Structure 1
């Protein structure tokens, strides 16, 4: 039997920040679905948004966050994010993390979409995520037990609180892991879509497990589609950071006509949902869209990661045109948590993209995601350390090999249906079709719950989260931020003020799942 103080599910930036803050005080175990480097954090290019310049202020960062979030943000929590950001970044720097600096020694500051100030700090040019992850992995390697190739199948609930997880290894062996505290840091669900910037492990596993355990989910209809994924041979070959547009690149069609002229006051640096829809509409009309990088000096030196992606995809940068397409990038909603990362289930926490603190509203401001991981990873750790241990009870034993002989839909089919029916533009008709289709599949497979192989569980999780996204998108009869309904096309504006509409989702069959698990 495996028992520790804290289990963290996931190995991205928020997981490592929490682990680093906890490991000197608690016995911490990290369970990760693949290799510890299989996550979205390590792919993050742009950097960390933080009001650290003497010419900037957290109030301005807050304003940009709320405006990009289409006035759907939880203002008090967003305020905490931008206020604590500079403090926690300084702590990272003091502990040895190096960010790119000018020859004068001052931090280099980039600019991205919907930011009115240059406030993006970065490392390794456009390799900020990789640099942060490498640094933190080095810090925790002696104190944190990382177990790779463990797919969490279910959360274990006893007496109304989370006491551990049921996990399946690469050989199909299922076993329990127990802890005083369980932190979900499993990332989002970008791989539900055909085009995505996400790692292939981002299939909504944490969302599905939390839903089955009875935790509340909210705002899952808000999926951000990044405007500029590198497009080569009808496939996505990686992300082209928004920082490229921040340094002067513009979006053009095949006739070199700027496509953002007259679309938004900020043109190519408009909020991501605006830019993504503009590109999507051009592509729908048979046009191709490119990033024109003519005005960026020494592109290869400033953006080595993008340069490498282009070279691997056989995109000739001497032509100064990078072919792009929008794709699923970030989930603004998720497991509902308070400002300390606590979910509706005691002793269960969520941080990073799997969580919904409300800081991103309906559309995340560029480079606020890494800041969220850093700030709320620390706050979750503080919440865990503030709690007393509870008396342990006699543990149930689970040990069996996962197997199921039913036929399952393919991942590709799910991705195609999500892209077509719950993608950048949605309608009542397409959403109802998606909900019915995925619901029928889940009903067919539900009698075999808890005996899935890891591959089969991935499909079940994708169907579950896809259906929840469809249901939430159908209920939100408005267009707001990244959620665009063709049948309700009006977008909110500043006159609406700070307005937060929360769609809480809770599984009506929680007791059924609990009884099946013997809890």
Structure 2
């Protein structure tokens, strides 16, 4: 059984995993694990765009209010504040990485509007925003000598003290399955980042891709993490025909 060591282990190759890897690479070696090809992620299928305050006359507090209202006032206000405040500079970082967002002739973002927003806030790359972000970040990641991507490797479980018959909530890395060989082996890391995306496939009917199986959520739960607001998953009726029957 091989045993791999790295400074940082990133589980997932969507926008969060790739962005995290780029941020961590200056400080040590990074391994990204993804259970299919490197570009296969929820990010790759996201069409709409990123809501962020850039329009003239728009304000951070307006975005906060719209978000809380759209969330029926059930959102964590502190989390919403972080999302809204930190969004604009991070979007600019994506632009600097080379993401081809739609721009006006003046060079400003060509902003659109989606449900729940009182102002134009949606930064987008036509109707394939996620795909363009994924493609751009992957290109940047592959040019970084400190980052290695292991495709077709699946997270089995996080390595925590209970595997070593010890007490505590420390993560030492992860057990990983090679989809090609069927071998399970450990990857040890100083820091482990869960960026595994959603869990749409736990439901009978979903528009999420087949890789959205909630591996990270399940492994975090087994390790002792508290899973919050599982009852707040968003459902949008998009299809009248499912895999097995006509609904209406």
Change (3 A) 1:165 1:234: closer
1:165 and 2:152 are equivalent in the alignment: no
Q: CA deviation at 1:200?
A: 0.2
SS in 2 for 1:221: helix
Equivalent runs, 1:58-457 vs 2, <5 Å: 58-123=60-125, 125-143=126-144, 144-158=147-161, 160=168, 161-170=170-179, 171-229=181-239, 234-235=242-243, 286=248
Between the aligned partners of 2:97 and 2:36, the Cα distance in structure 1 is: 28
| Alignment check: 8 A CA contact 1:23 1:140 kept | no
Structure (1 or 2) with the larger CA radius of gyration: 1
Q: Which runs of 5+ in 1 are unaligned?
A: 237-282, 287-519
Change (3 A) 1:103 1:228: farther
1:313-357: CA deviations, max 9, x gaps? xxxxxxxxxxxxxxxxxxxxxxxxxxxxxxxxxxxxxxxxxxxxx
* TM-score, L = length of structure 2: 0.89
SS in 1 for 2:231: coil
Between the aligned partners of 1:23 and 1:91, the Cα distance in structure 2 is: 16
Between the aligned partners of 1:38 and 1:112, the Cα distance in structure 2 is: 25
Q: CA deviation at 1:4?
A: 0.3
Between the aligned partners of 1:82 and 1:112, the Cα distance in structure 2 is: 16
Between the aligned partners of 1:73 and 1:234, the Cα distance in structure 2 is: 31
1:240-289: CA deviations, max 9, x gaps? xxxxxxxxxxxxxxxxxxxxxxxxxxxxxxxxxxxxxxxxxxx97x4xxx
Q: CA deviation at 1:95?
A: 3.5
SS in 2 for 1:162: coil
Between the aligned partners of 1:25 and 1:13, the Cα distance in structure 2 is: 20
Q: CA deviation at 1:152?
A: 1.2
SS in 2 for 1:100: coil
Between the aligned partners of 1:235 and 1:114, the Cα distance in structure 2 is: 30
1:40 and 2:49 are equivalent in the alignment: no
Between the aligned partners of 2:217 and 2:56, the Cα distance in structure 1 is: 39
Q: Find runs of 4+ consecutive structure 1 residues off by over 6 angstroms.
A: none
* TM-score, L = length of structure 1: 0.44
| Alignment check: 8 A CA contact 2:8 2:28 kept | yes
Q: Which runs of 5+ in 2 are unaligned?
A: 162-166
| Alignment check: 8 A CA contact 1:149 1:169 kept | yes
| Alignment check: 8 A CA contact 2:172 2:190 kept | yes
| Alignment check: 8 A CA contact 1:62 1:82 kept | yes
Between the aligned partners of 1:167 and 1:106, the Cα distance in structure 2 is: 44
Q: CA deviation at 1:235?
A: 4.1
Q: CA deviation at 1:153?
A: 1.0
Structure with greater contact order relative to length (CA < 8 Å, sep ≥ 6): 2
Q: Which residue does the alignment assign to 2:5?
A: 3
Between the aligned partners of 2:93 and 2:47, the Cα distance in structure 1 is: 21
Q: CA deviation at 1:228?
A: 2.8
Q: CA deviation at 1:178?
A: 0.2
Equivalent runs, 1:475-490 vs 2, <5 Å: none
Measured on the aligned residues, the alpha-carbon RMSD in Å equals 1.8
Change (3 A) 1:142 1:94: closer
